[in-house]
Amino acid sequence: MVMSPEEEKPSDERVWAFERAAELLTAPSALMHLTMDEARVVVGYMSPQFIPANTTFIREGDAADEGFMALLLEGEVVVESVTVSRTEPLTIGVLGPGSLIGEVGLVDREPRSASCTTSSDSLCAILTRESFEGLINAEPRIGSKLLLAIAARLAERLRDNARKLRLYAKLAKAMQLEIDALLSAPRR
């Protein structure tokens, strides 16, 4: 099928999404240390996707191998997980523009560890595992920078979880000491 020159040109919205994604990838908070030109290369492997409000686009426990990562360009996403002995999900975080979502699913083939639901109409730039592998093969230096940034992000979350576990352990120990003291106190 031959496209007319008008169809070959990207839409204004697509150009805006492309540039917005590149800007977010180069922001100081992105941990990626990409130049604008490198970010544009990465974004060239991504595709924009509109996700309506109240849409769960990643579901905890989903074992389907749909390895992808989303860069949130506009909107807000709630990340939730069902923890041990709970039936209702616990909100882990609320993410805004510039956030990477689902990056673990990009690098492994395990079930999703949390659910992600849009709380408002959202626009994301999606990077599939297939596209990511294409980026690494075509642009190994840029692909490795992106992979290192994802690893840094995961390490940051791992350290945060370790801090939380230490806090929970201290709380559990303090509660156990109180329970032991109450149980050993003489009854009146």
* Structural fold of domain 5-184: Jelly Rolls (2.60.120)
Output the pLDDT for position 3: 41
Q: Is residue 24's pLDDT more than 80?
A: yes
pLDDT tens, residue by residue, 130-152: 999 999 999 999 999 999 888 88
Q: How is residue 71 written in tokens?
A: 């860069």
Output the pLDDT for position 51: 95
Output the pLDDT for position 96: 92
- Based on the number of CB atoms within 10 Å of its own CB, is 162 exposed (0-12), middle (13-18) or buried (19 or more)? exposed
CA distance 180 to 133: 55
Q: Is 116 within 8 Å of 58 (Cβ atoms)?
A: yes
pLDDT tens, residue by residue, 169-188: 999 999 998 998 888 878 76
pLDDT tens, residue by residue, 64-106: 767 899 999 999 999 998 866 567 888 888 999 989 899 888 8
